[in-house]
Structure 1
Amino acid sequence: MSAESVRGTSGEDREHYTKAESRAIRRRSLHLLGSILKPLRKLMLLTAVVVVVSTGMRVIGPMLIAAGIDDALPRAIDQGDWVPAVLITIAFLLSGAIAAGLVGWYVVLIARLTQAVMLEMRMRIFRHTQRLSLEFHEGYTSGRIISRQTSDLESIQELLDGSLNELIDAVLIGTFTVIALCLLDWQSGVLLICMGIPLAILMRWFVIESQKGFRGTRVASARLIVQFVEMMTGIRAVQAFRTERRNAKAFAEVSDEYRRTNLRVIRLYGVLDPGLILLANVTIAAVLLWGALRVSEGTLALGVLLAAVLYVRNFFGPIEEVAMFLNSYQSAAAALEKVSGVLEEEPTVPDPAQPIALPRARGSLAFDRVEFGYGNGRKVLSECSLELPAGQTVALVGTTGAGKSTLAKLVARFYDPTSGAVLLDGVDLRSLAAEDLRRAIVMVTQEAYLFSGTVAENIALGKPSATAAEIRAAARTVGAESFIDALPDGFDTDVNKRGGRVSAGQRQLISFARAFLADPAVLILDEATASLDLPSERLVQEALQRLLADRTAIIIAHRLSTVAIADRVLVMEHGRVIEDGSPEELVSAGGRFAKLHAEWQSTLAG
């Protein structure tokens, strides 16, 4: 079995695994849980002591009742000696009070334990998913990540918060009850143990079947969240193309699948609950009948029979809680499988074991026989060898799929080459310290994503320590100061979710200011002016020249007006550079770029 077969992304939508895969997944999940619980050993030990003592206090009750009926009551009636009855009553009340106090303490301790586990798990998912490479995020939908952080963690918390309490209570009560019953009346204890055989068979059947069912509910739940998130994220396209009815039909199908998987699990309880009630009644009847016969023969005291019946009832009472735990357990176990699967993912662009420091990069780039293909095996770049001197502005031109964006992503080290190397100032990017790489190379994309917060906070993203004057100067440099000052609160205006308060062109200018403030040695503009209208583009051309001054720049653009500011143009086709030269040289050469340039000139004339 390959390791990939049990990883989070590969098995995300599967409901059935081989036995070997299931064992590997369980080991992975238990290892995760163990690593989280290890620092909490002292709290776990204290919790265990409190719950054991409180359970012992609760189990003493029927024994005290038996002693009161069989010993203390006859002495009070026959001899007028009420001291034993009073002492047993005090002991009964005292044991109940101690048990109640310890149960309250236990609830607080288990809550502390649960919240500590959930905090660590939530932070691990967040830290790890941020560290994972772009390849993971491009293949793992946002809805599934949200499902890991929300519904899956909620299932685990539900288990730890409530159901685990019920299981511990049921197991300890059951164990102590059997021991106490055997000490009190071993024959009734044997009857109870014998009835444990069909009980074990029933519970095992339920565990196996519910495990399958709850894995199905987790898969269906993740699909439901993915469908909803994708539709809401793309609501503009939904309304623009009037796909509401088609989306509603697709969502109804996913919702119906979720309903059916839940119904399959509920049907299991339709067998479990009546089975538990039947076994409890049969056991109580057997103990009562056998005890009554012995009481009539004088070999068993009436108080002992009453205590035995109470113990049997107490034993089966929490079994329903065990069933509820199994409900939560199977759901939480399936959720833990998904969470551990994500946490097992390794970055495809790992940090170097012994990083090379480059505190101040000059910005010279080199591609040394670089080849690259995505996960599907399709080769995108072939034998690419280039030299980009520091301070040069290079434009990448070509048809869609020519490899322009891929080349830029290799420079930003969102991906690593399949073979060959990308060098910055002679240092392989794979050997460069992560903080130096992020400081040296910045990429501005067409999306120009803005986070919730103020305009100033968004500009300062790459330099959180920037002063208000530095932020304003960066905005002024790229021509964004005037429209920012016109906003309701100027630089302190909240841009709202994803920058909804500003236009697409304004978002792009803010992203330019962000890049300028970060002051990288290498700046990549991937279709960064595509969202600007022509008047805005003309205004930003001068700002772009200031932005690109004294640094290496790679510009990917279909608009040749942006390409015109480049020192050098690379024309790409099918992952290869087919033309290389200044814009003027390539226009004079009459090749592919010259044709593109002529078409652009004709559109301007029109």
Structure 2
Amino acid sequence: MSGRGPMGGGPHGGLGAAPPAKVADFRGSLRRLLAALRPERAWLGAVVVLGAVSVALAVMGPKLLGDATNIVFDGVVGRMLPAGSTKDEAVEALRAAGEDRMADLVSGTGVVPGQGIDFDALGGQIVVVLAVYVLSAVFLWAQGLILAHVVQRTGFRLREDVQAKIDRLSLGHLDSRPRGDVLSRVTNDIDNVTQSLQQTLSQLVTSLLTVVGVLVMMFVLSWQLALIALVTVPVSAVMTMLIARRAQPHFVAQWKSTGDLGGQVEQAFTGHEVVTAFNAGDSFARTFEAENDRLYRASFRAQFISGTIMPAMGFVSNLNYVLVAVVGGLRVASGAITLGEVQAFIQYSRQFTQPLAQLASMANLVQSGVASAERIFELLDAPEESADPAAPRTPEQVRGRVLFDDVSFRYEADTPLIEHLDLVVEPGQTVAIVGPTGAGKTTLVNLVMRFYDIDAGRILLDGVDTRQMSRHDVRKQVGMVLQDTWLFNGTIAENIAYGRSGASDEEVRDAARATGVERFVHSLAEGYDTVVDDEGGAISAGEKQLITIARAFLSDPQILILDEATSSVDTRTEVLVQHAMGELRKGRTSFVIAHRLSTIRDADRILVMEHGSIVEQGTHDELLAAGGAYADLYSSQFAAAVVEE
């Protein structure tokens, strides 16, 4: 395609272009990501409630186990004391015998002298503990089930928003972005966001609730030991923040590199034949290796730096454990606390540091998810096409008259392309547009389709400015066959029927017969039910083009745009297509972009464009007689054909 268009690359287009550099806004992106969860507020409330119940039950466990330990300990110690006396009498006897430490220990217990382990009480306590932990697990399972629905619905809405956004994006924006990078944002980044939410939200709720619940129980058991455990909290927080701050830029680089690598892979697959034909495999391999190495390095740094959080938190946790065990042992020996309470406190200290470690370890997940969310929001914030008018106008009667009135347009603000163009195309006329590459031929018809909005002037369709019409109404009147064919993954019949919603099977076959598709369909085993895609499958490039022509035929437009539609067909097929196009153009206004001038001799008017301007116009014979730019183009093609023969 000459110039720059919706299916071609521009000066900044192509798959190899790098995404724009941007500064990571962690807090802003995190707030927007959390705002995406607002529609699930009620379910998130249920997640919190279920988590709170589960955590409350789990927090009760160590205390109940501590009571069980006390039953065992009291029984063991009670068997060592003489029966028939009270605990106070036993303590006094121990002190009289000089066993002060043992006396302190016994005074802090609930022993009954001479009585052993109460196995009935012990069994009942164990049953209670098991029931508490089972119920905690059930509530936690219910929380996970609801959270999975919440996260997946959020991902569903994000994908919907991105798809709707892509439909509203200006083609200029899409032309300037690598396809692989856009695809990576729609697939990889949204998947990473949902996975990060799934893993972090559950841990966040349970960890925070666990910290609060455990902290309360620790103060209930021993405020002195609780203060010792709290000493490690600020140390953990500072270490986590320092490590996370260093890891965040690398997570941003990781997902940017993922998009770049996706662009390289997509480019290698779609251009595989060209790469192979020009022996460019080694060059592609080197480029891929460089992008892959960049992704490896960014991922390694991000994961390694964030991965140091857990070892650091483990060290702090072990330090806390040692302090609690030593001080707790001394307090048991002094009778200030029971052995079961120390055991429970040690478990609580572990439960206290574990959620802190989990919160710290979530830093890498959160950073990775926010880095992906930032890329998604960047796409959602991209400039869109200008809005259609609130009250769009439509022509009273669509006849196909097109008027360019002093039209100016440029892709880049400092690079003029079309300046002060005037053109009138009457209904039913066939207008051929010729000229060298980059002359603005495809740009001209793109402006008719409103793929781009003009900078100045007017384009009128049957007397109505196209900017006063909705894009849907404009494009409904126009059928387009591009030089680069496009088929979606479906049957031949479905690809043809894509031209008009609700078309019957007979109408599809009529379009196929009129454009020569039926000529080769009968040679296929599945006929019209043969499955094809953009790669073509079992059909040739020329046959693919015939299908796209049949699609345009079925849409029955009033204005027809043919962008070198016969460039991919062989000579015999070209005769059939030209005949079909002659039938298709009857009664319709047609714009034909052509490089082979022999195919447009019968055009009602031929426009010769150079540098965005019409330098000549007239019929084939008139332009040849004028001896100008068209005559030079025609003679150069004829001379080239003679030389080739």
Task: Measure, in 2, the Cα distance between the counterparts of 1:354 and 1:88.
Answer: 75
Offset of 1:228 from its aligned partner? 1.2
Partner of 1:561: 598
The question of whether the paired residues in 2 share the 8 Å contact of 1:135 and 1:348 is answered with no
Offset of 1:403 from its aligned partner? 1.0
Residue identity over aligned pairs, in percent, reads 34
Q: Which amino acid aligns with 1:454?
A: T
Partner of 1:6: none
Q: Does 1:30 align with 2:31?
A: yes
The question of whether the paired residues in 1 share the 8 Å contact of 2:434 and 2:594 is answered with yes
Q: Does 1:503 align with 2:540?
A: yes
Q: Does 1:265 align with 2:302?
A: yes
Partner of 2:106: none
Offset of 1:319 from its aligned partner? 3.6
Q: Which amino acid aligns with 1:343?
A: L
Partner of 1:332: 369
Partner of 2:417: 380
Match of 2:562, SS state, is strand
Q: Which deviates further from its counterpart, 207-216 or 265-274?
A: 265-274
Q: Which amino acid aligns with 2:182?
A: I
Partner of 2:9: none
Partner of 2:11: none
Larger gyration radius, structure 1 or structure 2: 2
**1:165-215 deviation line (CA, Å, top 9, x unaligned):** 233322222221112211221111111222101111011112211211211
Distance 1:254 1:376, change over 3 A: farther
Distance 1:95 1:259, change over 3 A: same
**1:73-152 alignment runs, 5 A limit:** 74=74, 78=113, 85=122, 88-152=125-189
Partner of 1:196: 233
Offset of 1:601 from its aligned partner? 4.3
Q: Which amino acid aligns with 1:49?
A: V
**Which residue among 555, 560, 572 is the counterpart of 1:518?**
555
Partner of 1:58: 58
Partner of 1:361: 398
Task: Measure, in 2, the Cα distance between the counterparts of 1:382 and 1:33.
Answer: 48
Task: Measure, in 1, the Cα distance between the counterparts of 2:29 and 2:358.
Answer: 27
Task: Measure, in 2, the Cα distance between the counterparts of 1:482 and 1:295.
Answer: 96
Task: Measure, in 2, the Cα distance between the counterparts of 1:454 and 1:131.
Answer: 28
Q: Which amino acid aligns with 2:25?
A: S
Q: Which deviates further from its counterpart, 375-384 or 330-339?
A: 375-384
RMSD over aligned Cα, in angstroms? 2.4
Match of 1:317, SS state, is helix
Task: Measure, in 1, the Cα distance between the counterparts of 2:19 and 2:182.
Answer: 11
Partner of 1:578: 615
Distance 1:222 1:398, change over 3 A: same
Task: Measure, in 2, the Cα distance between the counterparts of 1:41 and 1:92.
Answer: 33
Task: Measure, in 2, the Cα distance between the counterparts of 1:553 and 1:220.
Answer: 45
The question of whether the paired residues in 2 share the 8 Å contact of 1:451 and 1:498 is answered with no
Offset of 1:235 from its aligned partner? 0.4
**1:76-475 alignment runs, 5 A limit:** 78=113, 85=122, 88-269=125-306, 271-358=308-395, 361-375=398-412, 377-475=414-512
Q: Which amino acid aligns with 2:175?
A: E
Match of 2:607, SS state, is strand
Q: Which deviates further from its counterpart, 347-356 or 169-178?
A: 347-356
The question of whether the paired residues in 2 share the 8 Å contact of 1:545 and 1:565 is answered with no
Distance 1:209 1:450, change over 3 A: same
Task: Measure, in 1, the Cα distance between the counterparts of 2:304 and 2:560.
Answer: 60
Task: Measure, in 2, the Cα distance between the counterparts of 1:264 and 1:101.
Answer: 39
Distance 1:457 1:86, change over 3 A: same
Task: Measure, in 1, the Cα distance between the counterparts of 2:148 and 2:396.
Answer: 47
Q: Which deviates further from its counterpart, 79-88 or 465-474?
A: 79-88
Distance 1:269 1:598, change over 3 A: closer
Task: Measure, in 1, the Cα distance between the counterparts of 2:543 and 2:253.
Answer: 45
Offset of 1:271 from its aligned partner? 3.5
Q: Which amino acid aligns with 2:603?
A: A
Match of 2:569, SS state, is coil
- Extract unaligned runs of 5+ from structure 2: 1-15, 75-109
Task: Measure, in 1, the Cα distance between the counterparts of 2:322 and 2:447.
Answer: 75
Task: Measure, in 2, the Cα distance between the counterparts of 1:152 and 1:519.
Answer: 41
Offset of 1:407 from its aligned partner? 0.6
The question of whether the paired residues in 2 share the 8 Å contact of 1:231 and 1:247 is answered with yes
The question of whether the paired residues in 1 share the 8 Å contact of 2:500 and 2:554 is answered with yes
The question of whether the paired residues in 2 share the 8 Å contact of 1:459 and 1:514 is answered with yes
Match of 2:37, SS state, is helix
Partner of 1:597: 634
Offset of 1:279 from its aligned partner? 0.7
Offset of 1:56 from its aligned partner? 0.7
Q: Which amino acid aligns with 2:318?
A: N
Q: Which deviates further from its counterpart, 475-484 or 44-53?
A: 475-484
Task: Measure, in 2, the Cα distance between the counterparts of 1:163 and 1:10.
Answer: 34
Task: Measure, in 2, the Cα distance between the counterparts of 1:270 and 1:46.
Answer: 32
Task: Measure, in 2, the Cα distance between the counterparts of 1:384 and 1:288.
Answer: 87
Task: Measure, in 1, the Cα distance between the counterparts of 2:20 and 2:303.
Answer: 22
Offset of 1:33 from its aligned partner? 4.5
Distance 1:135 1:13, change over 3 A: closer
Distance 1:282 1:29, change over 3 A: closer
Offset of 1:550 from its aligned partner? 0.7
Structure with higher helix content = 1
Match of 2:490, SS state, is coil
Q: Which amino acid aligns with 1:282?
A: L
Task: Measure, in 2, the Cα distance between the counterparts of 1:111 and 1:325.
Answer: 18
The question of whether the paired residues in 1 share the 8 Å contact of 2:33 and 2:370 is answered with no
The question of whether the paired residues in 2 share the 8 Å contact of 1:450 and 1:507 is answered with yes
**1:487-512 deviation line (CA, Å, top 9, x unaligned):** 22221111244323211211111111
**1:35-79 deviation line (CA, Å, top 9, x unaligned):** x42222222111211111111110111222333444796468556
Alignment TM-score, normalising by the size of structure 2: 0.87
Q: Which amino acid aligns with 1:379?
A: P
Q: Which amino acid aligns with 2:565?
A: A
**1:117-152 deviation line (CA, Å, top 9, x unaligned):** 122212222232133222122111111122112221
- Extract unaligned runs of 5+ from structure 1: 1-8
**1:286-323 deviation line (CA, Å, top 9, x unaligned):** 12222222222222222222211111111222344334
Q: Which amino acid aligns with 1:50?
A: L
Task: Measure, in 2, the Cα distance between the counterparts of 1:238 and 1:518.
Answer: 36
Q: Which deviates further from its counterpart, 141-150 or 516-525?
A: 141-150
Name the count of aligned residue pairs.
591
**1:524-545 deviation line (CA, Å, top 9, x unaligned):** 1111111123332222222111
Distance 1:322 1:359, change over 3 A: farther
Q: Does 1:48 align with 2:85?
A: no
Task: Measure, in 2, the Cα distance between the counterparts of 1:130 and 1:499.
Answer: 25
